[in-house]
Chains A and B, each alone.
Chain A
């Protein structure tokens, strides 16, 4: 499947899809979306690139090593967001919101940040890393077997 059209389209789609994945992640708390699906979209964008032009194309951007590191970092962020409340005298995973500490007048309207969002970011990165690790390793195997 080495078509120039798909390859070019995949490259053009990539930044849009990545942007869309971040959008999905951030709006997730109030509207359809979230970390899980955000990570999946970002991973699919890169997999599309790999399907169109081979694993080599993706590896220039995102190696398997990086994907594995991403899993670790994502997991750390998720656990960190769960442990953070302990430092503030709350229970494990009890959520902390910025609006509980900062007066509403200071914050931009409709803006709030808290540990659940941080947790969601961790989920996003884990999912991204996990899908890429699995799919890219499998693709690498298939390509190697063919050659």
Chain B
């Protein structure tokens, strides 16, 4: 289980090396992994159908509730089969599509990382791990959309997708934390069993999680990122932005519906957002002329449909959603791959420039036809089965009687738009007579792309027809997936023919009306173009502009390039905050209880204070640096007095090194302080340092005055140092064991700082030109 997810990350790292070593044959090797995952999932399928669930745990940070728990049940099985199966086909396709590109190694790196992360999303059983995988899919999606990074629109599209899905992901994390706190566990499978306790908190959690799911699945009004994501290479669009990643939101809704579906806000919020998205996507799709944009908007529309179904949440609706996920992945994935082939051959994706291609690309035409028929919902194609279920559940939507009649009408309306678009794709590309705008783009006569690029559409098309004709084959998949969503056993008996009933008549009327719509297509598209304004794109643009300008303004103030002001900002902020905390919530600084200090302590203190005053009077840098070194050494002596040999040892060496580093740095500064600080400046600095000094003293007095009752943390460390950590030097045990993760972070920072200093000196970011040293 864990291996299925983690192996993808492993292979991803190796992918560039494999590509370099094996050149074009690398594709075969890389494709072995998704194929292997697909087959092993299929082998596990019969057990899942029997009601079992596979489970495996890797403990990560158990004290935080963060475990890499993986769980394979019916829902996970359906999605992971799609991810690995389509993944394998797209790997093969991309090998041909990107042939000759030097960056193909990094393409497979990102691609496999995405696949592994996506498998993680659908297979993990821990909310926090799900978030990590979720954000990984956002990041890899960013890298893949911006794959042609020299193209500006690709970079913008990538950033837009990342900003929208990334911020949605953060909202979702907040929601997960609230949910985890309320439910007392982050394990999803345990979540669904515990009864809701705090309704208000649960509503907050739900709202935040919905933002995550809606941004990821491109629901209105967050849908604007998906069309721009079409800048990605076509195999990426087919895989991430149609078949898998955009369904992550749908997956999350399905996964959490046992927890939330009882809440009344769930049904209305989710289903209404779904409906708006479904309609907006369909209407916007009608006016597009770029093939990929058409597919993107129909994808949005279908995602809306799925969300609407999960909002309804009836047994029939969930079944419809599961069949819908499958049908859509098969036909839309295939359509994207075919459009990629057409683009590859004709060098254009503008439907106004295309036409009459069926003679030149007959097999592409047939495969497109199959997918278009499934999209339109014609019998003997899987899309038909999905549409029947969809219409049937629309008839029992669960809305109150006043609105109940609207659901089927809306669904039929959305369906007929799909029919018209299917017509447009199939007829427009292959049969429409002459291109209205002269082509002249392709350098040679287009013909069917090579086999590697047809394999995917061929297999997906075959499955569309086979499952569409013998839908009983997918019964167990749908019933186990729907069973996981509804948290009870579900009987599924799919069939092509149910007799002449309401859903069938509705489906038929959608076909007829949709075909009619295609006849008046041009006029409708023009009308939509005039009515629909890109409002949300403008809002997004304005927001981004505002954030950029705002952060520039903040940066100008805080990071103005003068070290002195940086220090001032940091010290003043810290002093004011700490000072406030000491004076107001803590109620003032306690009066120190002076015991009888020893002679050594008195002498040391006098020496310290005298040196400090001397430093402030120093005229030149050397005296000041030496004075600072003396202070450090005197403090080390204090540590010796209070028997802290570890601290004293470290302090001595650090102070020595500090003096050396100061000397080296000050070498480049003016010799005397007067040369770079005015009188007024020195008075200001005096006030600030006095404030800092007073605050620091107050803080020390506060923390040493015995405010804390009960056994302190130091007692715990001292008691357990030997028992738990096999060490008698408590200081060191704290550093390497009790507080080890802090140390790990600190040494990482050290390395970063040293690398930064080295780079700044070596490459002369300031001053001399960089080429000189390189």
Q: Which of B665, B729, B751 contacts A32 (CB 8 A)?
A: B729
Q: Which residue of B lies closest to A132 (CB)?
A: B754
Tell me whether B667 and A93 are in contact (CB under 8 A). no
User: Within 8 Å of chain A (Cβ to Cβ): is B61?
Assistant: yes
Tell me whether A116 and B727 are in contact (CB under 8 A). yes
Tell me whether A34 and B731 are in contact (CB under 8 A). yes
- Interchain residue pairs with CB less than 8 A apart (12): A32-B649, A35-B735, A43-B657, A44-B657, A78-B747, A95-B725, A116-B740, A123-B736, A133-B755, A133-B758, A138-B661, A141-B761
Tell me whether A123 and B667 are in contact (CB under 8 A). no
User: Within 8 Å of chain A (Cβ to Cβ): is B60?
Assistant: yes
Q: Which 3 residue pairs of A and B lie closest in terms of their CB atoms, listed nearest first?
A: A32-B645, A138-B664, A29-B727
User: Within 8 Å of chain A (Cβ to Cβ): is B527?
Assistant: no
Minimum Cβ distance to chain A for residue B660 (Å): 6
Q: Mark B726-750, 1 if CB is under 8 A from A, else 0.
A: 1111011101110011011001101
Interface segment, A5-13, A67-75, A101-109? A67-75
Q: Mark A111-147, 1 if CB is under 8 A from B, else 0.
A: 0101011011011001101110111011111100100
Separation of A44 and B664 alpha carbons in the complex (Å): 15
Q: Is the interface of B mostly helix, strand, loop or mixed?
A: helix
Q: Which residue of B lies closest to A139 (CB)?
A: B664
Separation of A123 and B667 alpha carbons in the complex (Å): 30
User: Within 8 Å of chain B (Cβ to Cβ): is A86?
Assistant: yes
Tell me whether A33 and B661 are in contact (CB under 8 A). no
* Residues of chain A having any CB pair with chain B under 8 Å: 24, 28-37, 40-41, 43-44, 47, 51, 64, 68, 71-72, 74-75, 78-79, 82, 86, 89-93, 95, 97, 99, 112, 114, 116-117, 119-120, 122-123, 126-127, 129-131, 133-135, 137-142, 145
Tell me whether B755 and A29 are in contact (CB under 8 A). no
**Contact flag A134-B661 (CB < 8 Å), given A32-B649, A40-B653, A145-B667:** yes
Q: Which residue of A lies closest to B728 (CB)?
A: A30
Q: Mark B749-764, 1 if CB is under 8 A from A, else 0.
A: 0110111011001100
Chain B interface size, as a band, is 35 or more
Q: Which residue of A lies closest to B645 (CB)?
A: A32
Separation of A131 and B657 alpha carbons in the complex (Å): 9
Tell me whether A134 and B646 are in contact (CB under 8 A). no
Within 8 A of A (CB), among B46-88: 58-63
Separation of A119 and B736 alpha carbons in the complex (Å): 7
Tell me whether A30 and B761 are in contact (CB under 8 A). no
Q: Which of A30, A91, A119, A129 contacts B62 (CB 8 A)?
A: A91
Tell me whether A35 and B726 are in contact (CB under 8 A). no
Tell me whether A33 and B732 are in contact (CB under 8 A). yes
**Contact flag A126-B757 (CB < 8 Å), given A44-B653, A99-B726, A142-B664:** no
Tell me whether A129 and B754 are in contact (CB under 8 A). yes
Tell me whether A32 and B646 are in contact (CB under 8 A). yes
Contacts A119-B736, A130-B753, A133-B758 given; 8 further ones with Cβ under 8 A?
A: A28-B732, A47-B660, A71-B750, A86-B58, A86-B60, A116-B740, A119-B743, A135-B661
Tell me whether A134 and B757 are in contact (CB under 8 A). yes
Minimum Cβ distance to chain B for residue A16 (Å): 15
Q: Which residues of A contact B400 (CB under 8 A)?
A: none
Minimum Cβ distance to chain B for residue A4 (Å): 21
Tell me whether B735 and A91 are in contact (CB under 8 A). no
Q: Which residue of A lies closest to B664 (CB)?
A: A138
Tell me whether B660 and A135 are in contact (CB under 8 A). yes
Q: Which residue of A lies closest to B656 (CB)?
A: A44
Q: Mark B637-671, 1 if CB is under 8 A from A, else 0.
A: 00000000110011001101100110011011000
Q: Which of B653, B664, B741 contacts A37 (CB 8 A)?
A: B653
**Contact flag A126-B755 (CB < 8 Å), given A34-B729, A91-B61, A119-B740:** no
Tell me whether A91 and B646 are in contact (CB under 8 A). no
Separation of A122 and B748 alpha carbons in the complex (Å): 11
Tell me whether B758 and A134 are in contact (CB under 8 A). yes
Q: Which residues of A contact B646 (CB under 8 A)?
A: 32-34, 37
Tell me whether B657 and A47 are in contact (CB under 8 A). yes
Q: Which of B60, B61, B667, B757 contacts A137 (CB 8 A)?
A: B757
Separation of A85 and B457 alpha carbons in the complex (Å): 46
Q: Which residues of A contact B731 (CB under 8 A)?
A: 32, 34
Separation of A31 and B750 alpha carbons in the complex (Å): 25
Q: Which of A24, A72, A114, A126 contacts B726 (CB 8 A)?
A: A114
Separation of A89 and B194 alpha carbons in the complex (Å): 28
**Best-surrounded residue of B650, B740, B761 (most CB of chain A within 10 A):** B740
Q: Which residues of B contact A137 (CB under 8 A)?
A: 757-758, 761-762
Q: Which residues of A contact B737 (CB under 8 A)?
A: 95, 116
Tell me whether A126 and B732 are in contact (CB under 8 A). no
Tell me whether B747 and A126 are in contact (CB under 8 A). yes
**Contact flag A134-B754 (CB < 8 Å), given A112-B726, A145-B667:** yes
Q: Which residues of A contact B747 (CB under 8 A)?
A: 74-75, 78, 122-123, 126-127
Q: Which residues of A contact B726 (CB under 8 A)?
A: 29, 95, 97, 99, 112, 114, 116
Q: Which residues of B contact A139 (CB under 8 A)?
A: 664
**Best-surrounded residue of B728, B729, B750 (most CB of chain A within 10 A):** B750
Tell me whether A28 and B60 are in contact (CB under 8 A). no
Minimum Cβ distance to chain B for residue A18 (Å): 14
Q: Which residues of A contact B645 (CB under 8 A)?
A: 32
Q: Which residue of B lies closest to A24 (CB)?
A: B649
Q: Which of A43, A74, A116, A142 contacts B667 (CB 8 A)?
A: A142
Tell me whether B653 and A41 are in contact (CB under 8 A). yes
Tell me whether A116 and B736 are in contact (CB under 8 A). yes
